[in-house]
Every structure is written in structure tokens, then in C-alpha cells.
Structure 1
Amino acid sequence: MLPCRLLGLLGLLMLCKGQGESGAGESCDNFTDLNFSHCFMGTSLYVRLLLYTRSNLDCGRELNHHHPSSQPLFDLSRPSAFVIHGYRPTGAPPIWIDHIVHLLAEQEDMNIIVMDWNKGAANVNYFTAVTYTRDAALNLTGFIMTMQEEGASLSSVHLIGVSLGAHLAGYVGANLKGKIGRITGLDPAGPMFTSSLPDQRLDPSDAMFVDVLHTDMNSFGLNGAHGHIDFYANGGADQPGCPKTIFSGKSYFVCDHQRSVFLFLCSLNRTCSLTGYPCSSYSDFLDGRCLQCEAFKPASCPVLGYDVSQWKDTLLQLGQTKVFFSTTSMLPYRKLSYRVDMVTWNQYLRWGVVYIRLHSGRTYTEARIDHKLIRFEQYTSTRLLAQFDEDLQPIQKISLRINTGNVIGPRYKIRLLRIRFTPLDRPERPLMCRFDIIMEENMEVAFRPLPCASRL
């Protein structure tokens, strides 16, 4: 490999070119592939910028740091998205690189630049990789400044940073005085950043618009709010389907953290529309207290993904906004949500968890509302959020059970004067109601839903 040159503008490392072959003699530049021996010995920072467009989705082209426009495929009049990976403890290329390149190309005609800083990120010592983020950010800063000198607009630049790459993107944005268009942080890294000041990590001042997705705040991800909008999947910590014990091996450590990437990919693929509800906490969201989005323009709750920037103006007015949503354990991740309003008229105060089943033919899907005990008392309105893993249509029958845990003594009756189901994800669907239901605690009651008179 040739000796590295200094990048004249900032006195930074100029990083050298590696090539691979891709069919019919076509020369491609591939992401650096290392192995554990490199990580064990340690790697020195070496940055490469690989360009992909709709014309070369499967064959990267390394860009010249000094003269990016010398690459014919690089059109500075198009928007540019930079994909920035994080810490690479094994040295292998991220498994999601090809997926995100193809999916970004489907959003609009753009330059997609993969920032390959695997040499530097691949190191057994995580703390060494952290120290390299500043130098790598200076390198990318110089490149973007060169782009600007050659005619590109900073407002058309979008940095997508994963884990440690999210903070790297933040450093670039800070170097450019927050004038780049957008930064997306996918579960920004937590270790060594937990007590950091805003200038030491990703924060809203780093770009004109910053959106963040949290999936592992209690381990490898960073707790708190760090963008103009922060999405918290399943509260931002433990993700459904991820191992709960160390005996599951590597997956126990990375599953929650990696889920941020897979949720973002799913949103790009349009196979899952993940709506975030503005709320102060996940528990309040689960209690059904945060299901209104009238303050947002367009008049709907923000949706995770590439198109969240359509809510930018409203979010900038509102200030930092937290939004919460729940997912299933696998693709397409989306849950179907209903707001359930009940008016009870039972004689005795009861506490319990609620089970609701939606039936369509012989198939049913169940929501278990058990994050806390629900209070049922005389002539009281209760609002619940019921989330189902499947979207069954048409709904022919609904069954309901209130489990109070009472195993001895008489079964008390619970009378529902009214129960109303409001579809949150499918507002075009009719509301479902039922009136005057008598049920016994711990016993399931089934009924056919009726159309509601209004949506109030």
C-alpha cells in the first residue's frame, strides 16, 4: 500500500485507494475487509469514501478527497447522503451496507457515499476507536468543504451515522457550524459519551435538522434526547425478540443496538410505517395518554425514516421532541394500535390486566395490556392503548378478559357501559363500539362490534 498523504486543506490524513474486481473486468472499490488479527494488533486510521449512484449500485467508486468532481458519476447538483458506520470489533464489513445503499437510491436520485473508516474503527480497544472519530470527522469535513467549493450545497448533505458513527457525524456538523442539511443518528454510542457535553457528542445544533433513533439506551446506546426529534423504539431499550441472557452469545450484546439499523432499513423499504407518538415517557405512551398529534403539520404523528423531514418546520418550532412507538420482534416490525375507551359501572373496585382479542374467521390476534394494573371502579372512564401484532380484517368478533388475579372468593362482576375501539394507524377505518356488557373477572366475554355513532 502506498504511503498516505496529508490532506492539504486541514493537514489531515489522505487515505489511499484499494480496488476489487466485479465481473467482466469491471473494477470496483470495495469496503475494507479485515479480520480479528487486525483488530487484535490494532489498526491506524485510514478513511476511504466510496460512491454509489443509481448507475453503479453494485460497484463502488472511490472518490478523490481533493477533487471529488473528477469522478464522472459524482454529480454535485444532486443531494448527497453519507453513510457512516461505527465501531467494528471484528473488522468485517457491516452486513447492512449493500441494503442501505440500494434503499437510499430508491428514495431519490442522489450521491450515496459510504465512509469506510474500518481501519481505525476495527480495534479490540474501543477507546482507541473513539479517539479516531475526531480525526475521521476532520477528514470528512475537509471533503465536504471541497464539495462546497466545487458547487455543492451544504443544505443538500445528509449524514447517516450508526452508533459511534452518529457522534462522528455530529463532529462533522459542528465543524461546519451546523449548516449541513440533516444528520440521522441510529442509536448513538453510549460508552464514553454518557456524561459528555453537547460539543462532545451528537446534538441538535450539529445540523439544520437532527433525527435520532434509540434502541439500546441501557447498554451500548446513549440515554437521553439528542436531536430535534428522538424516536424511542419500545422505550428505547430492550427490543422484542432479542436474547435476554448471555448464553445466547454475540447476539445478546449486539441485537438491541443493531435493531436501530434494521428498523431504519425497514422504514426505507416502505414495508413498515412506524409512527411515533409525542410523549414525555414510554409509560405514559403505554397508558394511552399521548395519542394525539393535532399540533403537527401535516396533521399526523411523525413517521420514522427518510421522510421524517416533512415534519421539520413543526419540530423546529416545538423544540426537542420525544416520540415513542412499539414494534414486533421481526419484519415488518409494525404493530396495529387501537385506542380503547371504556366506561365501567361495577359495584366493587377492581384492579387487573386486560386481554383483548380481535377475531377474523378462525384467526385472532391478542393484545395484553399488562405493563401495570388497570383500575376499574364505578362510573369511571378508562383509556387504554391496545397494540396487536397482526392486522386482521374484517373484525368479526372481539373478546375481552380482565384478569384480577383473584383465585379465591366470589367472582365479582364488571359492567361496561360502553367500550369503543379507535384505529390509530388506519384512521379511514370505522370505529367499533359495544354497549352494556356484563362480564365476570377472569372470564372471557365475546361480542360482535357495532358501528359507533361518532368519533368523539
Structure 2
Amino acid sequence: MNGDQIALTEILRPPALTAEAPYKRANSGPSLDTRFRLFTRQNPHKPYFLVAAERDSILNSTFSAKWDTKIYIHGYLNSGKLLAPEMELKDRFLVRGDYNIIMVDWGRKSQDLYGRVVNLVVPEVGQQLAAFIRVVQNVTGASWNSFHLIGCSIGAHVAGFAGKYLNGQIGRITGLDPASPRYKNLPPQKRLSRTDAQFVDVIHTDIYGVVPFGASPVWIMPYIELKVASPNATPRISKSGLKEPIGHIDFFPNGGDRQPNCSRADLLCEHLRSYDYYMETIATAAPCAMVGFVCTDWPSFVAGRCTDCGARNDRCLRFGEPAVQHRELSDASRSLLVYLRTAGYYPYCVYHYEVRLEVIADVARRYSLHNSSLTVTLGPKVQLHVPLVVDAEQIEGSKLFCPVGGTVLRQRPSVLTLTACTGAA
């Protein structure tokens, strides 16, 4: 072996990382066909193939330790080819600035039986990715903080295993709707968790729902979990994404389910919306900022109980790529739950509003407001009928405050000026 090569045993089995493997091992070695494609502004279209066992492939590439490194890990059943959405992600980052963009290709093994992928392949690819990152860091001197892993679906758990084998040193992991089947209720050492990086943010878009049989191709059925309460009950599908909060900050757009304009017959639409939402936040000319609100749960958010941004403005958080600016809120012992609304098509960002009505207590006692609605006129052709959300806890003295939630206003108000934060515009 010459000086430009590193033994595969050094790469695939770093002693400090594998003393107590948290999973059953598959066969290590190059047979896993994991490849690493590097794109930078110097080579935006044709990738360099980086090989962990060959230092020269890194030293002679366009990789720069001065730039942040974005590493994207695809999900289940990917062919390994760079598809249009992945190319767009790469392009958006390179328009944004100087980055090392690395696409992890484990496509061949991602097409194996789902159970085998979960139990054997994902941990193994995560270990290979960790070994690759360690070599790149050693060869180039890049800081651990500069590495950001972005994992889609089951790729989020690959990122988690990589982070575990690097002892949580890497700067950030973003999980785009981490896969739920076979991962639900698993302990943190067997899935993505908040201890896998200095900052872990997670986007949940497909946490549960009701899906009719025959709605999607048979090949996707292993990717969902079917639950039938009784023989005559409607089959409930615990769908592709994890419901449990597992990051430092967990974002739940639209409550984590029922994404606008996603048909129930399309099992992957909601799951892949996490990618679409995240992509929008990378754009340099985004039409508006996507902002979420710290809250205990979705019903409380919709009811308007979580619109206070806090004295330090630490309860209204940027969503997606800019979420890293909130890393100081990271708490290893708990997840911060953040909720927001989106539109059903690009641009997905919306402006959040809250309307409060002050009603004299005598009127509130005389008339039932629980089945009332508010009509809002925004212009000659736009009129919204919004149900009132009456919260008995918000009765103060002689006034009754009726927060309004669930309003998506696609046009800026032209007649009525709204204030604060909980519908959307």
C-alpha cells in the first residue's frame, strides 16, 4: 500500500467507534457501493468522486476547508442517480454561496428488502459515511462544525448513525421527515436522535393519516404501517414519517400531517413535502421567511395560544435552512416543538396572523359564540368565513377574547388590517 492510500479496515472500522456497535453488522467493505460525489462552484455540473481510502482523491479535488460542507443522503428505493430535485438542491446552495456539496450514493443497497435496509444497511452506510467524514476532516483540516448532514426519510437515520460514530462532533443534522416504519419506538441509539450532532433539526410532514387500500402501488406498502382497530374500522396508516420529536428543534408544518394540496391517494406527497419546504428556505430570493411558533401541540397553536414570540424573541423560530441560528436553544434533554402553516403550492411560505375579538361579557352570556363564525372581506372578490375558536381560559374581566385560527390568506389584506400571528397570509 502506497502513501496515497489508507487501509479499508482503518476507514470502515475505526476502533474508537466500533467497540460497541449499536446494531447487528452486515458485511463491511466496498461491496456496499457507497459513493461520494463532490460539487462546488468550480465544478457545479460534473462531480469529483471522493474515495475515503485514497487521500489524493480529496486533495486533488475542489474541496475547500474554508467552506461549509453540505452532505445529502437520499432515502429508500433510490436508484443512486442524481434526480432533478437533488440537482436543484445542489444548485440552490451553490447560488447561495461557496459550499462543498457532497451527494451520498447508496442507491444499490437502498433497493434491498426494507427490513434488511433498516437492520443492516442503514447502520453500515452510516458507519461508512462517518469514516469518510473523519478522513476528509483529517486530510483537509475542516472544522467539525462545518459539516451539515441532510437526510431524507430513511436517509435521516443514516445521518444519525454517522453522527453516533463521530461521537456527536459534527455541526448539524437536518432530518427531512425521518422514516417511521421499523423505527417507531426504537431507542435513540438505533435511529436519529438529538445527541448525534451539535444541532439536530427535524421536519415532520407525514406522521399519520387514513389511506384507502389500492391508493398507491404495491411496492410502497412495506414503507407504511397498517393498523386496523376492528374488522369494520377504516384502516389507519401510520405513514412514512416519525411522529415522535427526536431533534433539538422539531418542526411540524400544518401539524405534521394533511399537507395542503396532497391527495390521500398519493402516499408519498406529504412525506416528500418536507423536502419541498426545506428547498424553499435555501433560495436566496425566497418570497417570505418561513417562521414557526413554539407550542405544546397543534390544537393549541390553531387556537391562538402560542403567538407570543417571547421577550427574547425565542419562541418564533426560522424554519428550514436558517433554523441553525437557533442552535443556542438546543437542550440535550428535550425537544422544542414548533408549529407553522404553509400554502399548498410554491411559494409555500405564508404570513401568520391572529384576530382577536373583544366581546362584552353580557353579550357573551346572552349569545352562544361556540358555533359562530367571522366573515373577513379582503377585497371585491375575496371573502373568508372563519369559525371562531372560543377559549374559556381567555375570559378576562368583562371581555371575551376569541382567537381565530386556520386562516390561510393568499392575498395581502386590502380592506382589513390584521395583526400578530396565527392564521396565515
Give the TM-score range, shorter chain. 0.7 to 0.9
Q: Does 2:370 align with 1:351?
A: yes
Structure 1 residues 91 and 11: alpha-carbon distance in aligned structure 2, compared to 1, 3 A threshold: closer
Structure 2 matches for 1:100-115, cutoff 5 A?
100-115=89-104
- In structure 2, the residue matched to 1:161 is 151
Query: Following TM superposition, by how much is the alpha carbon of 1:294 offset from its aligned partner in structure 2, in angstroms?
Result: 1.6
Q: Does 2:302 align with 1:286?
A: yes
- In structure 2, the residue matched to 1:450 is none
Q: Is the 8 A contact 1:334 1:389 kept in 2?
A: no
Give me the whole-angstrom Cα distance separating, in 1, the residues matched to 2:147 and 2:81.
27
Give me the whole-angstrom Cα distance separating, in 1, the residues matched to 2:79 and 2:101.
25
Q: How many residues are aligned here? A: 361
Give me the whole-angstrom Cα distance separating, in 2, the residues matched to 1:6 and 1:214.
40
Structure 1 residues 369 and 203: alpha-carbon distance in aligned structure 2, compared to 1, 3 A threshold: farther
Query: Following TM superposition, by how much is the alpha carbon of 1:317 offset from its aligned partner in structure 2, in angstroms?
Result: 8.9
Query: Following TM superposition, by how much is the alpha carbon of 1:195 offset from its aligned partner in structure 2, in angstroms?
Result: 1.5
Q: Does 2:174 align with 1:184?
A: yes
- In structure 2, the residue matched to 1:424 is 421
Structure 2 matches for 1:50-449, cutoff 5 A?
50-66=37-53, 67=55, 68-88=57-77, 93-123=82-112, 125-130=113-118, 131-150=120-139, 151-218=141-208, 219-244=239-264, 246=265, 252-269=266-283, 270-296=286-312, 301-316=316-331, 319-345=334-360, 346=363, 347-360=366-379, 362-364=380-382, 366=384, 368-369=386-387, 379-385=399-405, 387-393=407-413, 395-397=414-416, 421-424=418-421
Report the RMSD for the aligned CA atoms in angstroms: 2.9
Give me the whole-angstrom Cα distance separating, in 1, the residues matched to 2:198 and 2:38.
24
Query: Following TM superposition, by how much is the alpha carbon of 1:256 offset from its aligned partner in structure 2, in angstroms?
Result: 0.6
**Structure with max Cα Rg:** 1
Structure 1 residues 373 and 149: alpha-carbon distance in aligned structure 2, compared to 1, 3 A threshold: same
Structure with the larger RCO, 1 or 2 (CA within 8 Å, 6+ apart): 2
Query: Following TM superposition, by how much is the alpha carbon of 1:89 offset from its aligned partner in structure 2, in angstroms?
Result: 6.1
Q: Is the 8 A contact 2:79 2:108 kept in 1?
A: no
Structure 1 residues 201 and 323: alpha-carbon distance in aligned structure 2, compared to 1, 3 A threshold: same
Query: Following TM superposition, by how much is the alpha carbon of 1:293 offset from its aligned partner in structure 2, in angstroms?
Result: 1.6
Structure 1 residues 349 and 225: alpha-carbon distance in aligned structure 2, compared to 1, 3 A threshold: same
Give me the whole-angstrom Cα distance separating, in 1, the residues matched to 2:349 and 2:373.
21
Query: Following TM superposition, by how much is the alpha carbon of 1:238 offset from its aligned partner in structure 2, in angstroms?
Result: 1.8
Give me the whole-angstrom Cα distance separating, in 1, the residues matched to 2:387 and 2:192.
35
Structure 1 residues 333 and 358: alpha-carbon distance in aligned structure 2, compared to 1, 3 A threshold: farther
Query: Following TM superposition, by how much is the alpha carbon of 1:220 offset from its aligned partner in structure 2, in angstroms?
Result: 0.4
Amino acid at match of 2:316: C
Give me the whole-angstrom Cα distance separating, in 1, the residues matched to 2:155 and 2:385.
37
Q: Does 2:13 align with 1:9?
A: no
Amino acid at match of 1:184: T
Give me the whole-angstrom Cα distance separating, in 2, the residues matched to 1:69 and 1:351.
65
Give me the whole-angstrom Cα distance separating, in 2, the residues matched to 1:162 and 1:353.
42
Structure 1 residues 312 and 182: alpha-carbon distance in aligned structure 2, compared to 1, 3 A threshold: same
Give me the whole-angstrom Cα distance separating, in 1, the residues matched to 2:259 and 2:385.
17
Give me the whole-angstrom Cα distance separating, in 2, the residues matched to 1:114 and 1:367.
47
Amino acid at match of 2:169: K
Question: Which ranges of structure 2 fall in alignment gaps of 5 or more residues?
Answer: 1-5, 14-30, 209-238
1:406-440 superposed Cα distances (whole Å, 9 cap, x missing partner): xxxxxxxxxxxxxxx414399xxxxxxxxxxxxxx
The secondary structure found in structure 1 opposite 2:184 is: coil
Question: Which ranges of structure 1 fall in alignment gaps of 5 or more residues?
Answer: 13-43, 247-251, 399-420, 427-456
Structure 1 residues 112 and 161: alpha-carbon distance in aligned structure 2, compared to 1, 3 A threshold: same
Give me the whole-angstrom Cα distance separating, in 2, the residues matched to 1:286 and 1:217.
18
Amino acid at match of 1:59: K
Structure 1 residues 132 and 206: alpha-carbon distance in aligned structure 2, compared to 1, 3 A threshold: same
The secondary structure found in structure 2 opposite 1:253 is: coil
Q: Is the 8 A contact 2:295 2:301 kept in 1?
A: yes
Give me the whole-angstrom Cα distance separating, in 1, the residues matched to 2:149 and 2:385.
38
Q: Is the 8 A contact 1:84 1:116 kept in 2?
A: yes
The secondary structure found in structure 2 opposite 1:280 is: coil
Q: Percent identity?
A: 29
Query: Following TM superposition, by how much is the alpha carbon of 1:358 offset from its aligned partner in structure 2, in angstroms?
Result: 3.8
1:68-127 superposed Cα distances (whole Å, 9 cap, x missing partner): 53333111232211000110267765441111101122333110000011111123x212
- Which range is displaced more, 95-104 or 347-356? 347-356
Q: Is the 8 A contact 2:80 2:106 kept in 1?
A: no
Structure 1 residues 48 and 272: alpha-carbon distance in aligned structure 2, compared to 1, 3 A threshold: farther
Give me the whole-angstrom Cα distance separating, in 2, the residues matched to 1:214 and 1:424.
21
Query: Following TM superposition, by how much is the alpha carbon of 1:237 offset from its aligned partner in structure 2, in angstroms?
Result: 1.6
Give me the whole-angstrom Cα distance separating, in 1, the residues matched to 2:33 and 2:85.
21
Structure 1 residues 6 and 253: alpha-carbon distance in aligned structure 2, compared to 1, 3 A threshold: farther
Structure 1 residues 140 and 325: alpha-carbon distance in aligned structure 2, compared to 1, 3 A threshold: same
Under a length normalisation based on structure 1, what TM-score does the superposition of the two structures give? Answer: 0.73
Give me the whole-angstrom Cα distance separating, in 2, the residues matched to 1:162 and 1:127.
18
Give me the whole-angstrom Cα distance separating, in 2, the residues matched to 1:241 and 1:101.
26
Higher strand share: 1
1:34-57 superposed Cα distances (whole Å, 9 cap, x missing partner): xxxxxxxxxx73111000111222
Give me the whole-angstrom Cα distance separating, in 2, the residues matched to 1:206 and 1:72.
28
Q: Is the 8 A contact 1:178 1:206 kept in 2?
A: yes
Query: Following TM superposition, by how much is the alpha carbon of 1:348 offset from its aligned partner in structure 2, in angstroms?
Result: 2.5
Give me the whole-angstrom Cα distance separating, in 1, the residues matched to 2:308 and 2:333.
15
Query: Following TM superposition, by how much is the alpha carbon of 1:365 offset from its aligned partner in structure 2, in angstroms?
Result: 5.4
